[in-house]
């Protein structure tokens, strides 16, 4: 007569212990993996910034801009603090309107992002559409002067007596020639539909 195949109590206990140990090891591994993933995600931002700085990548974040309405700066890791450039702002209002910057001059380091605000007032008793043409002096500064935000990018419509304030956000390339210490940014604001006047210097 065959005997029943029932494992002894000791074998059942050992099997249960091995299963418990395997489950505990799995939980521990999952906790470690989760902690490593969280730590990696947390370290990504400073790691990314260090990599960009090491490789010389100029990262400009428009989300760090100050609220338009005042002259200000943004953070940028590629600022050349050994140089300062004077930027002059000129406004040519050729028509029955007022057009002027909040600041006539600012001092800025190459690579530093700067914002200057212009104000425009339509003094006519009718709605007008207008746009601005920029020009630069000296001419060799043009290739090194980058506008990140500018009202000159598009046409604007203003109601009678309406006043608008527009920011100009720019950065000067650190590769600007060393002999250039002053840049003049000039805007000529004209009414769309009429004869377009030439900006200072005779060319656009």
Report the number of distinct structural domains present in the chain.
2
Residues 35 and 100 in one domain: no
Question: Taking the CB of residue 57, how many other CB atoms lie within 10 A of it?
Answer: 12
| CA 98 – CA 123 distance, rounded (Å) | 7
Are residues 127 and 178 both part of a single domain? Answer: yes
Q: Is residue 201 part of a domain?
A: no
pLDDT in tens, 134-159: 899 999 999 999 999 898 888 888 89
* Residue 2 belongs to some domain of the structure: no
- Do residues 150 and 67 both lie within one domain? yes
pTM for the full predicted model:
0.55
* Residue 144 DSSP one-character state: G
Q: Which of 57, 82, 97 is the last residue of a domain?
A: 57
Q: Is residue 27 situated within a structural domain?
A: yes
Query: 42 and 76 share a domain?
Result: no
Same domain? 86 vs 124: yes
More confident residue, 76 or 12: 12
Encoded tokens for 24: 């505990």
In a domain, 165, yes or no: yes
Residue at 197 is within a domain: no
Q: In whole angstroms, how far apart are CA 172 and each of 3, 47, 55, 64, 144?
A: 93, 27, 20, 18, 6
Domain match, 77 and 159 both: yes
pLDDT at 74 (0 to 100): 43
Mark whether 43 and 109 lie in a shared domain.
no
Yes or no: say if 145 and 89 are a contact pair by the CB < 8 Å rule: no
Instruction: For residue 183, report the phi and psi dihedrals to the nearest 5 degrees.
Output: -125, 135
The domain in which residue 49 lies consists of 8-57
Q: Are residues 128 and 94 in the same domain?
A: yes
Higher pLDDT, 64 or 101: 101
Any domain includes 1: no
Would 128 be classed as within a structural domain? yes
């Amino acid at each position: 007569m065959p005997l029943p195949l029932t494992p002894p109590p000791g074998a059942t206990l050992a099997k249960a212990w091995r299963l418990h140990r395997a489950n505990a090891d799995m939980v521990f591994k999952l906790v470690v993996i989760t902690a490593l993933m969280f730590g990696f995600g947390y370290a990504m931002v400073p790691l990314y910034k260090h990599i960009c700085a090491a490789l010389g990548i100029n990262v400009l974040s428009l989300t760090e801009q100050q609220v338009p309405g005042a002259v200000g700066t943004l953070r940028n890791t590629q600022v050349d603090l050994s140089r300062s450039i004077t930027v002059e702002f000129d406004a040519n209002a050729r028509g029955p309107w007022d057009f002027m910057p909040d600041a006539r001059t600012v001092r800025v380091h190459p690579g530093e992002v700067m914002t200057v605000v212009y104000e425009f007032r339509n003094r006519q008793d009718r709605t007008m559409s207008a746009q601005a043409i920029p020009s630069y002096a000296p001419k060799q500064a043009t290739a090194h002067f980058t506008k990140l935000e500018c009202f000159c990018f598009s046409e604007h419509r203003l109601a009678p007596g309406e006043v608008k304030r527009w920011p100009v956000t720019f950065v000067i390339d650190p590769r600007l020639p060393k002999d250039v210490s002053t840049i003049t940014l000039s805007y000529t604001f004209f009414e769309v539909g009429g004869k377009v006047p030439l900006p200072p210097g005779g060319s656009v």
